[in-house]
Structure 1
């Protein structure tokens, strides 16, 4: 039995296209993998801990092999709960709308919480970042209102999928599938594009 961790980062509920695509993916996945467990982490419902001064100093102390203070230990344990949840899953699904050319801030907050030394990444001076996670794979659902791959330079650049892909690479997750519904509002064939994206999500869920 495998565990799939679904990380949802859109606050728009039933109006969210990224959530709708993820839902179709999950239905197809569950039908094809009846023994697997799906864990949903809704970042807008989850009371994520504040990873501030104590958390940052705890991370650097762990990174440097130093003793933690009482305050640092508390912050570290709060972060470690989410980092362990991420590291222990076998597969990942992310629903990621584009916010201001990048990702929603709650997803960035979660990434900063789970990216911890010895749990999800390691670093060696001679080698750089060394993967900690092995044998895992991820699917990401990307939506955006106006940006699309191959768009003119005036539409800016993609700091959404490129960032998520590079972050996963640092942790050791390189088996990556992308599902895109882009652009949403500028598409002249929005209904057809949405239907095609839903079909892609359904097929990807079956084979994931």
Structure 2
């Protein structure tokens, strides 16, 4: 049985193109594999804690091999709890809109909270960095309002800080098999928006068909 974690990064719910594509992927995947367990982490309803002084002190105490104070231990346990669903999942789906050429601040906040030694990666002088999410598959559905083709006024090579960042982070925590669906031009009129969403749904369904057949 596959355990699937969906990390929702858009607050727009049914209006969100990234969520629409992700839901299409998940529904199609479950059609093929109905026993799939689906966990959802909505970053807009989850009370994400601050990465405050107790949490940072806990991080550096752990790096130094020191015992944690009760306050530090409590802060660290909150971070471990946030990272636990990622470790439980076999398949991780992220629905990520583009905000100001990058990712939503809620996703960056979440990444900062869980990307620590002992939670999502390990490090030693002998072995270097080792991501703890190895063997998992990630699917990322991206949404963008503008045209990011090479001929546009906002070519991805210069303006895309969304997809490269997300996929660099996934690789850092050990995920080497990453698939993506990108829905663009959603702000360029209703016809273009609808056509882009249809194309995204077709890509998401085709990807679900392929991945469900492999596992």
TM-score by length of 2: 0.89
Task: Tell me the CA shift for residue 153 of structure 1.
Answer: 6.5
Alignment-derived partner of residue 204 in structure 2? 201
Within-5 A mapping of 1:1-208 = 1-125=1-125, 128-150=128-150, 152=152, 154=154, 156-186=158-188, 189-208=192-211
Task: Describe the shift of the 1:206–1:68 C-alpha distance in structure 2 as closer, same or farther (beyond 3 A).
Answer: same
TM-align CA RMSD: 1.9
**Aligned with 1:172: secondary structure?**
coil
For structure 1, which segment, 133-142 or 115-124, has the greater mean C-alpha deviation from structure 2 after superposition?
Answer: 115-124
Task: Tell me the CA shift for residue 149 of structure 1.
Answer: 4.5
Task: Describe the shift of the 1:36–1:154 C-alpha distance in structure 2 as closer, same or farther (beyond 3 A).
Answer: closer
5+ residue gaps, structure 1: none
Kept in 2, the 8 Å contact 1:5–1:40? The answer is yes
Task: Describe the shift of the 1:66–1:150 C-alpha distance in structure 2 as closer, same or farther (beyond 3 A).
Answer: farther
Task: Tell me the CA shift for residue 112 of structure 1.
Answer: 1.3
**Aligned with 1:73: secondary structure?**
helix
Kept in 2, the 8 Å contact 1:122–1:131? The answer is yes
Kept in 2, the 8 Å contact 1:102–1:160? The answer is yes
CA–CA separation in structure 2 for the residues paired with 1:151 and 1:158: 14
Q: Residues 70-115 of structure 1: CA distance to partner in whole angstroms, max 9, x if unpaired? A: 1111100111101122112111000000011111111111111221
5+ residue gaps, structure 2: none
